[in-house]
Structure 1
Amino acid sequence: METPQTEVHHYRDKEQSSSLLLQLNRLRQENILTDVLLCSGTTQIPCHRAVLVSSSPYFRAMFCHDFAEKQKTKIDLKGISPTILSSIVDYVYTGLVSLRMDVVLPLMQVASMLQYIRLFEICSSFLQEHLIPDNCLSMIRLSEIMNCSSLRVKAKEMAMKSFSEVSACEDLCELSLSELMGYLDDDNLCAEEEQVFETLVAWIHHDPMSRRRTISDLFKKVRLRHIHPTYLFQFIANDPLIQSSTLCTELIDSVRRLMFCVDLKCIQNFAVDFSPLWHAPRRCTYQEMLVVIGGRKNSEQTSREALAFDESSQRWKLLAKVPVRLHKPSYVALHSVLYVIGGLTTNTKHSQVSKSVYTLSLKSNQWRTAESMLEPRFAHQSVSYLHFIFVLGGLGPDRRLTSSVQRYNSMFNQWEWIAPMPEAVLHPAVAATNQRIYVFGGEDVLKNPVRLIQVYHIGRNMWSKMENRTVKNVSAPAVVLKELIYIVGGYTRRMLAYDAKTNRFTVCANLKERKMHHSAIVLNNKLYITGGRYLTGQDDVEDSNSFEVYDSLTDSWTSAGSLPHKLFDHGSVTLTCVSETRAKQN
Structure 2
Amino acid sequence: MIPNGCLIFEDDSFLDSTVAKMNALRKSGQFCDVRLQVCGHELMAHRAVLACCSPYLFEIFNSDMEPHGVAHVKFEDLNPEAVEVLLNYAYTAQLKAEKELVRDVYSAARRLKMERVKQICGDYLLSKMDCQCAIPYRNFASRMGDGRLVSKIDGYIQEHLLEISEQDDFLKLPRLKLEVILEDNLNLPSNGKLYSKVIYWLQRCLWENGEPLERMMEEVQTLYYSADHKLHDGSQLEGQTEVFGNDDHIQFLQKKPLRENFQKQASTSSSGSLSPGSVTQLCKHEWKYIASEKTNNSTYLCLAVLNGVLSVIFLHGRGSPHSSPSSTPSLPKSMSFEGQLEEREERLRAPLHYARSGLGTAELDGRLVAAGGYNREECLRTVESYDPKTDRWTFIAPMRTPRARFQMAVLMGQLYVMGGSNGHSDELSCGETYNPHEDEWTPVPELRTNRCNAGVCSLKNKLFVVGGSDPCGQKGLKNCDAFDPVTKIWTSCAPLNIRRHQAAACELSGMMYIIGGAESWNCLNSVERYNPENDTWTLIAPMNVARRGAGVAVYQGRLFVAGGFDGSHALRCVEAYDPTRNEWKMLGSMTSARSNCGMAVLDGAVYAVGGFDGNDFLSSIETYEPQDDNWSPCMEACS
Query: Scaled by the length of structure 2, what TM-score is found?
Result: 0.39
User: Which has a greater percent of helix?
Assistant: 1
Query: Scaled by the length of structure 1, what TM-score is found?
Result: 0.42
Larger Rg: 1
